[in-house]
Chain A
Amino acid sequence: MPVQAIQKNYEFDARDAQKNYGDNMLLYVGWDHHTLFCAAHAFVVSPQQSLQDLIDQQIQAGFNQHPDFEHIDWSKVQFTLNRERLTDIDFSKTLADLNFDHKSLLRFVTPGLDGYNGTHV
């Protein structure tokens, strides 16, 4: 729905457009049922980095404060990107090749690891 505006052409650039991040893009990453973290994290990522890089760098830095983190079996993790489950994941592929785009949301579930004392914290 258009904005009811006093001027005819109420049109503006998106303030968070990808070009404002150079060659990088924003990625939001949330670890389901681990609410020690009050929200998903916002990361700057390169489309050219691999999913494995993402895990080893940004995800490691953002989530390793949780006692569950060191127990994660990454081969069993369920990833959902922009509401679609990722299957047959090749961790060596680049984020761009895996269809990560600017301001995508990646959620991951670690089966068997349900937060502190299983409380989802």
Chain B
Amino acid sequence: MNSQAKNTTKTATKKLNAKDRYRMLTRDLDWDFSYADRKEAFPYEEFEGIKITDWSKWEDPFRLTMDSYWKYQSEKEKKLYAIFDAFSQNNGQMNVSNERYLNAIKLFLTAVTPLEYQAYQGYAHVGRQFSGIGARIASQMQSIDELRHVQTQIHAMSHYNKFFDGFQDWAHMHDRVWYLSVPKSFFEDARSAGPFEFLLAISFSFEYVLTNLLFVPFMSGAAYNGDMATVTFGFSAQSDEARHMTLGLEIVKFLLEQHEDNVPIVQEWIDKWFWRGTRLLSIVGMMMDYMLPNKVMSWKEAWETYFEEAGGALFKDLSRYGIRMPKYSDVIVKEKEHISHQAWWIFYNFGHAAGFHTWIPTDEEMDWLSEKYPDTFDKYYRPKWELARKLEAEGKRFYSNGLPQLCQICQIPMTFTEMDGDPTMFSYRDSIYKGERYHTCSDGCHDIFENEPEKYIQAWLPVNQILQGNCGGPDLESILRDYYNFNVGADNMDIEGSPDQERWRKWKGHVA
């Protein structure tokens, strides 16, 4: 039998052009279902009231196929971990400005890194739930980015765990510690919302509008304070963040262009998430103004640059869709001169219950604060530090007795004050829902409560849980030690006299 002669003239397989290749590796991963109902396959798309008429109008915010993604990311990883190794081998921790700086990083690891983990989960969820393939792919890539950020942040900061207190058990602390419920509940609010609200909350409001107010302070703060590990993480995350920003911009424009009925829904989400994001960022404000030994800029300056200028231009652009500036942005313009001082004052009050150290600013720092906040610091906040110094000098360093009232929405102690009138008066707001009283810290949080009360009556407020007996105790020290996993006497209390400070001075050869 003759076997078929091999066809030696091979038909040349045409190499795909870039456009077709891209399409096949992205859009064409979708298919028309022949026997499954599309609405059943994507059950989350309609309940929010968002109307999508034509998913094909989705414009990819960035053009990346998975193989390119893996290639670029793995190149970054190789460099990143080489730098982490060098940092560790060369005792990089000795190059930070001083031992106070590390407390900003303790706050980052316990407050922000777990949010990256929540983001990874959130994007994985919506990355399945959108019926538009472009949105699914962008979300899936972001999900992997966020998981990478969890990992790279942990690795960046793990070296410090060998030398400073308060880096242990950050994941455990995130789920239980009173001030960490602020970031945790923020993200849980987003993740328990529908997929469109999630993208509006995180991709648009947080990762586009407000992103520079988180990223720049921490990364510049690291650069100014000799923290090479965190700086390197920052560089390695930058291109990821650029993609995230473009997704945020795309989702808002896509929703607004798809149907006019989407406009009021999107406006409501912008109002809610802009407010929640700003409240969350009060921790960043205090970090910039009080925790960095070498200051980058004031919170007020950061707000003016990254929101009033940049955000102002953005909302001017969105006005053609009928979108206006977020509700209460006028309040925040006034609050920018207050909230960082108020937030740090909370932690000074409750320094015995914090997993990082707190302190009274130095004279030089207070002069800097005077200069940066000419209308508010000397009048409202310097007197606090004067009294704190007086009490400390009397051997009664002020650690507030008892527990503070928390806002039902942002879960921050109700320290924010009236911006129209008396800025020394707490801005108490309240609601009654189904016979129960609820307290909020501002018109912004009050309105959020009134809009979706059933969501927030379930809030796990740390102070209220402690008082219910759900966090051990009965005394605060047992709660810190057994429920929070703090090393009491090491992680908490003033920086003055702390083990961190003693070690630092010994390493640096300072005279005590």
Contacts and interface: CB of A to CB of B under 8 A. Distances in A.
Tell whether A and B belong to one assembly: yes
Interface of A: 1-6, 10-17, 20-21, 26, 28, 30, 32-33, 35-44, 58, 61-62, 65, 67, 82-83, 101-105, 107, 115-117, 119-121
Interface in B363-388: 379-380, 383-384, 386-387
B452 interface: yes
Q: Is the interface of A mostly helix, strand, loop or mixed?
A: loop
Interface in B398-437: 398, 400-406, 413-415, 424-426, 428, 430, 434, 436-437
Contacts of B453: 1
Nearest to A5: B47
Interface string B463-476: 11001100000000
A1 B453 CA distance: 8
Contacts of A38: 342, 345-346, 349-350, 400, 404, 413, 415
A3 B450 CA distance: 10
Contact of B49 (A4, A11, A65, A115): A4
A107 B427 CA distance: 12
A105 B430 contact: yes
A37 B417 CA distance: 13
Interface string B196-225: 000000000000000000000000000000
Contacts of A82: 430, 437
Contacts of B400: 37-38, 65
A42 B464 contact: yes
A120 B422 CA distance: 10
Given A14-B434, A116-B386, A117-B383, A41 B403 contact: yes
Contacts of B415: 38-39
Contacts of A1: 450-453
A10 B453 CA distance: 11
A4 B194 contact: yes
B50 to A, nearest CB: 10
B439 A105 contact: yes
A101 B401 contact: no
Contact of A121 (B194, B350, B384): B384
B147 interface: no
B439 to A, nearest CB: 7
